[in-house]
Structure 1
């Protein structure tokens, strides 16, 4: 049984280049994520992959030391699906 494939949008404050890099590094370290997109202008981070949304949000929060707010969560078709 593989985890469900999700597309999740998070709201985070990305005020500076350092914050952006920190968030990016945290995302790149997470194997369960298929891909991610960081929208600096609107302070949004979107991630795709087969993961448990709660765990990913907590992981990002721990690694970046910032408040993470889940704005949207929807099930997506898996890779090749």
Structure 2
């Protein structure tokens, strides 16, 4: 997930970083000071994370982009062993 936040100074950067490090559900994060963007990875609810960051930093948070994690194996092999109704059994 990518968020837009105003990162004006080193104090703002540290406040955002500290808030991200305290969240157990996040696997990783990346803070881009120049463009004012924060990217986070992990298994979480996007709205919950945005609300937590907003409360802890007292800064406006805007969700720019959400990406779902790709399932291992591409997802095509999941139906390989299942029988489809209406088709003869092999």
What range is the shorter-chain TM-score in?
A: 0.7 to 0.9
Q: Distance in 1 between matches of 2:56 and 2:45?
A: 17
Q: Deviations over 1:15-61 (max 9, x none)?
A: 00000000000000000000000000000000000000000000000
Structure showing the higher strand proportion among its residues: 1
- Structure 1: 5+ residue runs without aligned partners? 1-7
SS at match of 1:76: coil
Using CA pairs below 8 Å that are at least 6 residues apart, which structure has the higher relative contact order?
A: 1
1:77 Cα offset (Å): 3.5
- Where do 5+ consecutive residues of structure 2 fail to align? 73-90
Contact 1:50 1:78 in 2 (8 A): no
Change (3 A) 1:10 1:78: farther
Alignment of 1:1-81 (within 5 A): 8-77=1-70
Asked whether the 8 Å contact 1:33–1:47 carries over to 2, the reply is yes
Q: In 2, distance between residues paired with 1:78 and 1:32? A: 19
Query: What stretches of structure 1 move > 6 A for 4+ residues in a row?
Result: none
TM-score by length of 1: 0.85
CA–CA distance in structure 1, aligned partners of residues 5 and 34 of structure 2: 11
Partner Cα separation in structure 2 for residue 78 and residue 18 of structure 1: 38
Question: Quick check: which has more Rg, 1 or 2?
Answer: 2
